[in-house]
Amino acid sequence: MISFYESSARERINHLVDPNTFVEILPPSSKEQSPHLKLLNIVSSFDDGIIIGKARLNNHSILIASQEGKFMGGTVGEVHGAKLVGLLQSAISCEVKAVYLLIDSGGVRLHEANAGLIAISEIMRAIFTLRNHNIPVYAIIGSQNGCFGGMGIVAACCNAVCMNEEGRWGVSGPEVIETVCGVEEFDSQDKPLVWRTLGGKHRYIMKAIDIIVPDDVNEFKKAAYTLLNKKEEVRISLESIKKAQNKFKEDLKEYKEVKDAIDIWRLKNINKLESISLLNNSDFLNAVKGESNGN
């Protein structure tokens, strides 16, 4: 077994796509670096923390992007964002089956805040444009930095999301919440609290994600195949947005007084409640099967 969580951005791509099919766009040799970091005496990266390119998955043509969390937390700056926007915008002319985003990011790069924020908005616009052209965009979250800030919103714009238990997904990260609201509101050092609030298992229970897999690159590859064959409507409609919004309102009303994810699991009659965090992926799916089927 090879851990997806511990793999680099390039390793994640190589493990996910068909062997020897990945063709990188703007590789490190092109030296497309951030123009801002040098001014701040910060060492830059030749790929600005993101790898993009074309590949094949189960012999279907796809585009894929993978963020490198080890470089500035996978944050989105001007060049990083431009590479991702350009990749998404090229999908229509490339006639690909789907686009995959392997997200490992804390959000916008504060050193390039305005450029990063603009990039996030352009990424969102590009995703919606692709969906309107019936090209799905899938988010895969399972790396060390998780998916937060602007990229957390980007993931929510995608057609589907796949995570492992170790992945974390939210808008504000644990440290940000603690800094702004205080440790009484959210203790970022309480790792069990962080994972049961933002981790893959809770996101699956809340139906925020479509697939949860073990931390194994082969399992992520199988999930990518599954997403590729999804038959659900790709385009966004006003009706689907209203339906989602109504669901959010219902959840807010139902869980308004809840203080911990465990309380939500209890309200949902999840089996093996106290041991959810310790269950392997297969046992976890069995424990939540009844609830996820609406029973």
Q: Can you give the pTM of this predicted structure? A: 0.94
pLDDT score at 293: 40
Helices 217-228, 9-16: axis angle to 10 degrees equals 60
pLDDT of the residue at 62: 99
Contact 234, 135 (CB under 8 A): yes
Q: What is residue 290's predicted lDDT score, i.e. its pLDDT? A: 62
- For 198-233, b/e burial (b = at least 16 CB within 10 A) is bbbbbbbbeeebbbbbbbbbebbbebbeebbeeeee
For residue 291, the model assigns a pLDDT of 59
Ordered structural domains, the chain, with CATH: 9-169+209-232 (3.90.226.10)
* Residue ranges in the chain modelled with pLDDT below 70: 290-295
